[in-house]
Structure 1
Amino acid sequence: MGVVNVTPDSFSDGGEWFEPDAAVRHGLDVLAAGADLVDVGGESTRPGAERPSVEEELRRVVPVVRALAAEGAVVSVDTMRAEVARAAVEAGAAIVNDVSGGLADESMVPWVAHAGLAFVAMHWRGHSTSMQSRAVYDDVVADVCRELAERRDALLAAGIRQDLLVLDPGLGFAKTAEHNWALLAALPVLHGLGHPLLLGASRKTFLGRLGRHPGEPLRPPAERDVETTATSVLAAMAGLWCVRVHDVASTVRAIAVVEAAMEHAPEEGPA
């Protein structure tokens, strides 16, 4: 899943693709690099980010979705608002990727269920302005699995189709660096949730801290693609469904290595 941020304040690209024409060109580049899906979002969810108005989010997202879908792209819309999701789907989006898992807008889940759409639900504890104050866990892996399972059950009960539900552990959302590393180390455990899994580690702050001494500036987001690619390898080896990344080409090549190695792995002998 290649990221197309149509925002002026994205942590990863600083608004480089904010204008629709630039965003469409970038989306086409993402596809050419090997992305299977293009994820278009008009709201920054970096810690502390303020929300745009509904009208502004629609203005950012809909033209880009329409243009990319017209080029044959499989588009997911990254939004927490049912109104934006509806408009994006009408413009050609096929998947709704809601980082709140349907909690931010009570209209989202009933509409997605009625429309029979694929839905990505992330582990979420609150909006970006306050989410890091909620990064408190007894055992982050157990707690995230439990909370995602509760959300999964609620979504299925509300009519989301079981075969169209994807879950995301939400790295960086109400989580410290240590929480993120613990979840990455436990990726195989998440299969117990019984649904395809999406991982979004790309260029996040905890990767920028690697190899930096205390007090030393973080590695800039655009210089975190090597670390991101390593997380894609971990995800592929753990059998995840998809990774959401900014630099698609490096992840495509790395996953090809994992697949080639797995094809040549010896079959397990009798117990």
Structure 2
Amino acid sequence: MGVVNVTPDSFSDGGMWFDPAEAIARGHALIAEGADLIDVGGESTRPGAERVPLDEELRRVVPVVRELSAAGAIVSVDTMRVEVAQAAVEAGATVVNDVSGGLADPAMAAFVASTGVPVVVMHWRGHSRDMQDKAHYDDVVADVRAELARRMDRVVDAGVDPEAVILDPGLGFAKNAEHNWALLAGLPELTGLGRPLLVAASRKAFLGRLLADDQGLRPPRGRDDATAAVTALAAASGAWGVRVHEVPASRDAVRVAAAWQAAR
């Protein structure tokens, strides 16, 4: 899953793709590099971020989804708002990636059920402005697994086909570095929920902290090699997909993991 952030304040690329034409070109480039689907989002969910108005999110997202879909790309829309999901699906998106797992907008699950499109249900405890205050767990793997199971039950109860659900442990969302590493090591337990698992570690702060030197945290664009290493390990641990900002190295990492698994 290649990321296209149509935002001015993304932690990872600092608004490089905020212009719709640049975002569309970026999507085409990611496809050419081997992305299987393109995830288009118009609202930053970095820690501390404030929400954008609905009309602004629509303005950012819909033209990009429409153009990429018309060109034959498989597009997911990264949104917590049912209005944006609806507009994006009408524009050609075929996956809804809701980082709130349907909690931010109570109408999301019913909408997804009505369309039949796959939905990514992520582990989430609250909006970006204060989510890190909620990073408290008894056993992060067991707790996230239990909470994801409840999220899945909730959307299925709203009519979503269980076979249409993809789960995401929500690395970095109400989680510190230790929690993220524990969840990555615990991926086999999370795949035990029986649904495809999406891992979104790309360029996140816990990688920057791992790679820190006397200059401080490694900047986001210097974390791509570490991201590819996580991709290989996640794929070998049974992940269905990875959400990344740079495709080629992670695409190669998936191939390495597949060959590794096939030779075991």
Same fold (TM over 0.5): yes
Partner of 1:155: 155
Partner of 1:167: 167
Gaps of 5+ in 2: none
1:1-271 equivalence runs, <5 A: 1-212=1-212, 216-265=215-264
Residues 203 and 211 from structure 1, CA distance in 2 versus in 1: closer, same or farther, beyond 3 angstroms?
closer
Deviation at 1:262, TM superposition (A): 2.5
Assess if the C-alpha contact under 8 Å between 2:211 and 2:218 holds in 1.
no
Gaps of 5+ in 1: 266-271
Please state whether the residue corresponding to 1:209 is helix, strand or coil: helix
How many aligned residue pairs are there? Answer: 264
Identity rate, percent: 63
Deviation at 1:161, TM superposition (A): 0.5
Deviation at 1:115, TM superposition (A): 1.3
Cα RMSD (Å) of the superposition?
A: 1.0
Using structure 2 for the length normalisation, give the TM-score. Answer: 0.98
* 2: CA distance, partners of 1:121 / 1:262: 27
Deviation at 1:258, TM superposition (A): 1.7
Using structure 1 for the length normalisation, give the TM-score. Answer: 0.96
Please state whether the residue corresponding to 1:4 is helix, strand or coil: strand
Please state whether the residue corresponding to 1:226 is helix, strand or coil: helix
Please state whether the residue corresponding to 2:173 is helix, strand or coil: coil
Deviations 1:191-226 (A, max 9, x none): 12111100000000000011425x751101001001
Please state whether the residue corresponding to 2:57 is helix, strand or coil: helix
Deviation at 1:107, TM superposition (A): 1.2
* 1: CA distance, partners of 2:41 / 2:94: 14
Deviations 1:66-88 (A, max 9, x none): 00001100000000000000000
* 1: CA distance, partners of 2:158 / 2:47: 30
Deviations 1:20-53 (A, max 9, x none): 0000000000001100010000000000001110
Deviation at 1:261, TM superposition (A): 2.5
Deviations 1:1-21 (A, max 9, x none): 000000000000000000000
Please state whether the residue corresponding to 2:255 is helix, strand or coil: helix
